[in-house]
Amino acid sequence: MTATAPRGTGAVSPGAGNGMAAPRRAAIAARTLRTDRWWLQPLVTAVALLLFIVYATFRAFQDAHYFAEPYISPFYSPCLTTACEGDTFPELFTGPAWISPALYILVFPLGIRLTCYYYRKAYYRSFWLSPPACAVAEPHRRYTGETRLPLLGQNVHRYALYAALVINVILFYDVVLAFRDETGAWGHMGLGTVVLLVNAVLLALYSLSCHSCRHIVGGRINSFSRHPLRYRAWTSISKLNARHMQFAWASLFTVAFADFYVLLLATGTISDPRFF
């Protein structure tokens, strides 16, 4: 039997033709042969995510300065307990005083971002170095994928998406309430109204562009011609899906900025400019 070379290599694969399996990876001692600054992207990603995590954690446990009539921080919306500041959502229960109202809510947007297909790639590469970049060897000896705990929990992504979509609707409800003034009269529009509106739109685009959302809309259909409405919806979602990464980062920035803007108003650091 004559040994044959793998297509495109021009060389005979060791072990080929003698009944032995060919090696799966090239034996390269160097960590990588890349000469560009491949480490820059995972570093920037890690720093950006870490800054957001630190800020969001601080604000969630601060339990203060999250409401400035008629605006409420997206970190605390919907505010469900009787201890909530302001009047933006029906108070459903009385929770322990030592639990911040934000902790009842942030678990849902946190769930969709932790399990999001794009964010998995982002933090796997930046924090776990698995792998840190294309054509760069990872430091781990074994790879088990998402078949074991805690990564087995990534399978809840679809259910986290359902919860996120509900919160998206509530954030638009907050935008409607943001057209009031301090007395509750309608017809007000300030910079805070615009900030909450932009944040709600980008968060909705992030949720709708999700890979799971695309599958929910058009998955398991053998013939699109029999489902024209779902095909149109799937086509629209697919166009959004192509920009899922951009929506992920833009919405991460706007949700933090919206909270920070409400913080500045609530502490009296700035005043809200009014358009009418």
The span from the CA of 234 to the CA of 213, in Å, is 9
Task: For 180, list phi and psi in degrees, rounded to 5.
Answer: -100, 170
How much is the pTM? 0.84
Task: For 274, list phi and psi in degrees, rounded to 5.
Answer: -105, 140
Task: For 71, list phi and psi in degrees, rounded to 5.
Answer: -100, 145
Mean pLDDT of the chain: 88
Torsion sign (Cα): 189, 190, 193, 199: positive
H helix count then E strand count, the chain: 8, 2
Dump pLDDT digits (tens) for 188-202.
Answer: 899 999 999 999 999
Q: At which residue do the structure tokens 């995972």 appear? A: 42
Which pLDDT score is estimated for 22?
58
Dump pLDDT digits (tens) for 102-140.
Answer: 999 999 999 999 999 999 999 999 998 888 888 888 888
Which residue type is seen at 195?
A: V
Q: Is the pLDDT of residue 254 over 90?
A: yes
Domain range summary for the chain, segments of one domain joined by +: 42-136+149-193+253-266
